[in-house]
Amino acid sequence: MRSSRATWPVLRALRIGRRTLLCSLLAGCSSALPSIDGQPSAPTARNEPWRPPAGIVPREPRAAATAAVPGDIAPSGTLALGEVVDLALRNNPQTQLSWAQARASAATYGASTAAYVPTVDASANVARTQTTSQLGASERSTITPTVSLSYLLFDFGGRSGTVAAARAAAVALDFTHNATLQNVALQAEGSYFTYQATRGLLVASQQALAEADTNLASARQRNQAGVATIADVLQAETVRAQAMLDLETAVGNEQIARGSLAVAMGLPANAPFTLASNPDSVAVGVASASVDSLIDQALVLRPDLAALRAQVEQARAQVAVARSAELPSVILGTNVGKTLSNINAFQGLNYGVTLGIAIPIFNLARPYNVTAAEAQVDAATARAGLLRSQVAQQVYSAYYTLQTATQRAKTTDALLASATASETAARARYRAGVGTVVDLLTAQAALASARAQQAQSRWIWATALAQLSHDVGVIGPRGDANVPLPGGSNGVRR
């Protein structure tokens, strides 16, 4: 049936509409975001969170940290400073990361040395062919094992530069691992000393509370005997309440510091552990070496500075690699194979020897690569120079921090002795009835403050010594503070 002319515009409009709809669907499919397990792969609105499909997020692995101290670290069950550092070095993810990076870089260096020996590969091809001619069809089976050899004879320093760069990178990451060990050891020592200081403050707060209880009982007895007013009792009660508040604060701080020390050792914050008793563990002394000699020593021993010096050598080797790309290279190649076939005419030995010379003619990127490599040398040298200045400043600051901590420790000893004598005299006067409760409470407040400062001062000094040892680069593998002190002691007995 032939359509009339009147229906043509309708059919044409339908065709156009169908094409428009098809184009719209295709355009919509191309611009729509894909889905993830049937859910939108992005938030549906700017003010809506993305809701992940069930099971799309990998499960959190079980914690690798042990809930208790391993027996091989502390057979006696108690931890000295050396065992604390051992645990931290074993469990800290920073040491695991730096060790893995050092091993990977060492393997990369080993792989780069393969350029000095030929590359040998073997292959085998099996073919089944049929040929049809006027004489008929013939079938042929062939097996062709082949051994090929390729060797770079000469490339104007590119190969040696690559090996030198990989070697320097491995050395840099080895020193970076050493620096990481020192950083982790310092963190563990800092947590250890902070915990010891809070324990000392806790003991001082307990002593202050005991003395406040004694004063309150004495004030009440004197008030009942009629030789003291109710104001004395109220003042004693106020001091006792303040002492209780200080003790509660000290208990909380001690628990927080204990959790921080556990985490520093790579254990859960609530892990049980016992520290070895450390009576008078810190023999305070000032560094016997001068600050100038310690700075010179740090410039030689700091592993992070040594890593940057190795990175400078790595950058220089990369310059040789970039320059060699502009020069010819000579490659020797050879292959030996044998064709085995069911037709004797196609069997035989195949071999070939090639000597190739690659001559770079034009590549705009190569000059820029050389310039970039030379700039990297300047950048690496600048980073080393910047760290060199920072090392000197760190040692200088840590040296005088230790000096100050030494003087403060000695001063707090004298302050404690003076405050103890003053409190004894004030107590005797109060008991004899010639002194006031205000004088006694003032003397006891000064004594409590002196105890608190004396409890912290030695651990602050130990922290300063550890920081100086770290900044000089002589902190030991067990946290030994190896800065020379008078008498040949490192100041922290194990």
CATH number reported for the structural domain that contains residue 445 in this entry: 1.20.1600.10
Give the domain range for residue 201. 157-325+360-488
Q: Is residue 469 part of a domain?
A: yes
Q: What is the pTM of this model?
A: 0.80
Q: Is residue 449 part of a domain?
A: yes
Q: What is the pLDDT of residue 209?
A: 93
Q: What is the pLDDT of residue 70?
A: 63
pLDDT range class, residue 113, cuts 50, 70, 90: very high
Mean pLDDT (the chain, rounded): 85
User: Which carries the bigger pLDDT value, residue 493 or residue 271?
Assistant: 271
Q: Is residue 6 part of a domain?
A: no
Q: How many CB atoms lie within 10 A of CB 288?
A: 12
Task: Encode pLDDT of 348-374 as tens digits.
Answer: 888 888 898 989 998 889 999 999 999
Q: What is the pLDDT of residue 337?
A: 87
Q: What are phi and psi of 439, to 5 degrees?
A: -60, -40
Domain count, the chain: 1
Instruction: For residues 302 and 393, give the distance between their C-alpha atoms in angstroms, rounded to a whole number.
Output: 13
Q: What is the pLDDT of residue 271?
A: 87
Q: Residue length, the chain?
A: 494
Dihedral of alpha carbons 213, 219, 223, 224, sign: positive
Q: Is residue 347 part of a domain?
A: no
Q: Is residue 403 part of a domain?
A: yes
Average pLDDT over residues 256-278: 89
Q: Is residue 405 part of a domain?
A: yes
Q: Is residue 237 part of a domain?
A: yes
E strand residue ranges, 312-374: 329-341, 348-358
Task: Encode pLDDT of 40-97 as tens digits.
Answer: 888 988 898 988 888 888 887 775 544 556 655 655 668 888 889 999 999 989 999 9
Mapped onto helix, strand or coil, the DSSP state of residue 245 is: helix
Distances (CA, A) of 409 to 33, 202, 469: 67, 19, 19
Q: Tokens 């690798």 belong to which residue?
A: 64
Q: Is residue 186 part of a domain?
A: yes
Task: Encode pLDDT of 464-477 as tens digits.
Answer: 999 999 999 988 76
Residue 202 reports pLDDT greater than 90: yes
Q: Which residues neighbour 233 within 8 Å (Cβ) at sequence distance 6 or greater?
A: 216, 219, 220, 223
